[in-house]
Amino acid sequence: MEAGEASPLNPLLRKLGTIAALTEEDRNTLRALPITIRTLQPDHDIAREGDRPTQCCIILEGWAFRSKLAGDGTRQIVAFHLPGDFPDLQSLYVPVMDHTLTTLTSVTAAVMTHQSVRELLARAPHLAAVFWRDTLIEAAVTREWIVNMSVRSAKERIAHLLCEMHERLQSIGLAQNVGGKPVFPWPVTQARLAETTGLSAVHVNRSLQELRAEGLLRLSHKWVTMLNGPGMRALAGFKPDYLSLRPADDESVAA
Amino acid sequence: MEAGEASPLNPLLRKLGTIAALTEEDRNTLRALPITIRTLQPDHDIAREGDRPTQCCIILEGWAFRSKLAGDGTRQIVAFHLPGDFPDLQSLYVPVMDHTLTTLTSVTAAVMTHQSVRELLARAPHLAAVFWRDTLIEAAVTREWIVNMSVRSAKERIAHLLCEMHERLQSIGLAQNVGGKPVFPWPVTQARLAETTGLSAVHVNRSLQELRAEGLLRLSHKWVTMLNGPGMRALAGFKPDYLSLRPADDESVAA
DNA sequence: CGTCATGTTGAGCGTCATCAACAGGAGTGG
DNA sequence: CCACTCCTGTTGATGACGCTCAACATGACG
């Protein structure tokens, strides 16, 4: 594996590499983006519903999530974002936020102005297409979440989410393998998992217990071990095609 | 209102006009697209999950929907598409369909090759941005659907969908006003409404009856009358911001 | 060692699914 | 015009899944 230059934007390059083939020129163009690195506390709103951001950020480290507030005050999480994601790129073209973007963990982010992103996209139409593709894949994920919410049982919903997040973490090199079992970080409390799956926190708790009792997973101290990956995928009806991940070039080697 | 040239693509121009300001040059560029007009029967699959389409279509007349099949065979409708929509533009950048696109009614569509769309986007980056914006708004709608599925009751879900579809139909001039009450076509059977809302057909039926009993709407013979628009919006917690529709220029005059 | 967030358990109840039967309406062919 | 069929809508009965409320346990952190 060619050692990439050390650049704070490497997580972005890695992520984009999972959905498109980047040329060395692309990488250099991206590395040249004028960014400011910022560290954000957990539970910090990056942009709120109704805001008109003038900046965009790329997540370099940590997790974030999007949520919407329903009329009765219930909060629904509609997406998770991982290192390399560009979660508010959309504010370039849809100025008013339709949802709130919040850090889940402590997050290191690369912040840049809309202006500089516009210039990048104008200069590199090829990269604009890559980002558009990213938008489209995210839409596909959102569609899958609709299916998750509406047709699957509590256990299935949770299992499906875990499968999806594992797949995504794996693709960016953030999942490990311990004794042949996938292990990955899970900074999601049961209350947040409830807001994600449309279940009550109590029922999430009980469903998790069943998943544990069936020997499918271990989950404690903010880490998940998939004890029985195939079993989880079967239970969840998980088929990863909708993520449109490219077959890994070097992922297998990297670990 | 300036009478636009008669062009089969007028529905597209009208739709794009609801989300962005188009110049006369933009319109001419779009009108020049090399298209073939086709008529499709109801319930015809335009593209299926797993397909790799080589063409795109724009809906000129009629409704279509996107759906996904869950593991147990349940079908979930994840979006509706109306005249002017470009429902499979995404296949340009995400070649494999993650869902199935089907006509709901008889549909008149403008079909074009990927190649000609690519040329258009390369030639007119401004229009590419408009289509990207369209993609992003559709993603916002999909997020709102997640909220709909997971936090709202049966009645609220149905009411919310009706509010959304009314808003969209209105924006493209396909909703009428009869005695001060909004009236719009509704080619969606209760069974399909069930597949859309994640409810059983039986429960959809009962929920509709309650909505009728509360004097909120009339629904029969494939037409909806909103008898009490504010009541519906209040019940559904409907706030149309997520649709990012521009304030109508000429819509008010058009009717 | 105290405090607060997170996780866990029990009991009762409501929304919605399921199954089954039937009614109405549209279209078709005789 | 009627008879037939099929699709769509409607109704009743029963039960499951998941919600709510309330209390308590555990763990992290200062």
Q: What is the pLDDT of residues B64-106, one digit of tens each?
A: 999 999 988 899 999 999 999 999 999 999 999 999 999 999 9
Residue A246 is predicted with a pLDDT of 87
A-B CB pairs within 8 A amount to 126
* pLDDT confidence tier of residue B246, bands split at 50, 70 and 90: confident
The mean of the pLDDT values for chain A is 94
Least reliable range by pLDDT among A4-8, B39-43, B65-69 = A4-8
Which tokens go with A17? Answer: 């590499």
The pLDDT of A57-78, averaged and rounded, is 96
The reply to whether A7 has its C-beta less than 7 Å from any atom of strand C is no
Give dist(CA A7, CA A58) in Å, integer.
Answer: 13
Residue A255 is predicted with a pLDDT of 36
For residue A86, give every residue at least 6 positions away whose Cβ sits within 8 Å of its Cβ, in sequence order, or none. Answer: A12, A56, A57, A58, A59, A131, A134
Residue A251 is predicted with a pLDDT of 43
Q: Measuring from the CA of residue A153 to each C1', which nucleotide is nearest?
A: D17
Q: Measuring from the CA of residue A199 to each C1', which nucleotide is nearest?
A: D18
How far, in Å, is the CA of B62 from the C1' of nucleotide C29? Answer: 30
Residue B6 is predicted with a pLDDT of 81
| B181-231 per-position pLDDT tens digit | 999 999 999 999 999 999 999 999 999 999 999 999 999 999 999 999 999
B73 vs A: CB within 8 A: no
Least reliable range by pLDDT among A44-48, A245-249, A250-254, B28-32 = A250-254
How far, in Å, is the CA of B41 from the C1' of nucleotide C23? Answer: 29
Mutate to test the interface with A, among B49, B77, B99, B132 (most CBs of A within 10 A): B132
Give dist(CA B69, CA A237) in Å, integer.
Answer: 10
Could you count the other beta carbons within 10 Å of the beta carbon of residue B201? 13
* pLDDT confidence tier of residue B116, bands split at 50, 70 and 90: very high
Question: What is the percent of chain A where pLDDT is above 90?
Answer: 92
Q: Which residues of B touch A136 (CB under 8 A)?
A: 90, 93-94, 135
Asked if the model's pLDDT at residue A116 lies above 60, the reply is: yes
The pLDDT of A140-168, averaged and rounded, is 98
Give dist(CA B182, CA A108) in Å, integer.
Answer: 49
* pLDDT confidence tier of residue A247, bands split at 50, 70 and 90: confident
Give the orientation angle of helix B201-213 with respect to helix B190-197, to 10 degrees.
Answer: 100
Give dist(CA B175, CA B191) in Å, integer.
Answer: 23
Residue A228 is predicted with a pLDDT of 97
Question: What is the percent of chain B where pLDDT is above 90?
Answer: 92
Q: φ and ψ at A123, to 5 degrees?
A: -75, -30
Å between B179 CA and nearest CA of chain A: 30
pTM: 0.94
How far, in Å, is the CA of A35 from the C1' of nucleotide C14? Answer: 53
Q: Measuring from the CA of residue A203 to each C1', which nucleotide is nearest?
A: D18
Residue B1 is predicted with a pLDDT of 41
Report yes or no: B69 and B31 within 8 Å, Cβ to Cβ: no
Give dist(CA A84, CA A61) in Å, integer.
Answer: 8
Which tokens go with A247? Answer: 């077959």
